Amino acid sequence: AKNRGRNRLVKFSEEMNKEARMQLWLEIELQKALQQNGLEVWYQPKVNAKDYAIDGAEALVRWKHPVEGYISPAQFIPVAERSGMIEQLGQVVMREVFTTVRKWKQQGLLSGRVAINLSPQQFGNPNLISFVEKLKKATGINPNDITFELTESAVMSDGEHTIQMLNAIKKQGFALSIDDFGTGYSSLSYLARFPLDELKIDRAFIKDIETIPKQVTLIENIINLGKALSMSIVAEGVETRQQATLLSNLNCDYIQGFHFYKPLPKNELDAILLKHSRH
């Protein structure tokens, strides 16, 4: 028995080693990618729940490693957050999105706003405000065309700081969205206190919408709550026609998910927008 315990321990530390080596590898490779312009921004269109026409998009960072191929943000965003690289990564994403959206708007190709994700670490850094201000001037973006998405954990960490940051971003004219709504297990009081324009219902609520009747009641009431607080409502992770129909009937405003569009490279969305604008 003693031996088996020992073996388990050896195995466990080997696993730990593997994990630690993986993290270190990711950190080094991500650093290189940042230096060599190796990150891309893809765009997942959202549709209007009334007519299913494209109405805005979410910007999602993509990293194509020269040898390993695409690595998931779920893997490298946490690494970027822990290592401090998230600030630089975020700046790369914002610059790319402001520039691209400015162009799409000038060409009259895109209606709606484009959303940019902000990690708690990015949001906690006061430099964000001056960076965004400068980038706004440099790119000529209309801030009304951009939404920043924040998670509950980002807004809940420090009340005073949060309100100041949110107000500063709002004052510049950008919109604010609460992402992954309902997954942070936090109190709802922030909904009343913070200047939020949009609420994104997490995929976890949408997934079982067809099989669990109470789930529909829950979503219906989230939508009503958000609307009563003057927020627009996005449902994310919509994968079936039934889910989309149900959400439209519940007066959800926007729908995002694989049923309509997957995240697309900029050129592919460009082509789709151009095609749609011709008829």
**For residues 11 and 212, what is the distance between their CA atoms, to the nearest angstrom?**
41
Residue 142: helix, strand or coil by DSSP? coil
Backbone φ and ψ for 24, nearest 5 degrees, come out as -65, -45
Alpha helices in 194-253 (DSSP H): 203-207, 213-228, 241-249
Give the tokens for residue 151.
Answer: 């998670």
Asked whether position 179 contacts Ca ion by CB under 5 A, the answer is yes
Asked whether position 263 contacts ligand C2E by CB under 6 A, the answer is yes
Nearest to residue 119, comparing CAs of 158, 92, 161, 148?
148
How far is Cα of residue 171 from the mean position of the Cα atoms in its chain? Answer: 21
Asked whether position 45 contacts ligand C2E by CB under 6 A, the answer is no
Asked whether position 182 contacts ligand C2E by CB under 6 A, the answer is no
Nearer Cβ to ligand C2E (102/203): 203
CA contacts within 13 A on the Cβ side of 252: 30
Nearer Cβ to Ca ion (55/149): 149
147 binds, among ligand C2E, Ca ion, none (CB under 5 to 8 A by kind): none
CB of 268 to ligand C2E, least distance (A): 14
Sole binder of Ca ion in the list 149, 152, 253, 270 (CB under 5 A): 149
**The one segment of 124-132, 167-175, 240-248, 254-262 that binds ligand C2E by CB under 6 A:** 254-262
Q: Which residues bind ligand C2E (CB under 6 A)?
A: 44, 60-61, 72-74, 77, 90, 93, 117-119, 179-180, 203, 237-239, 256-258, 263
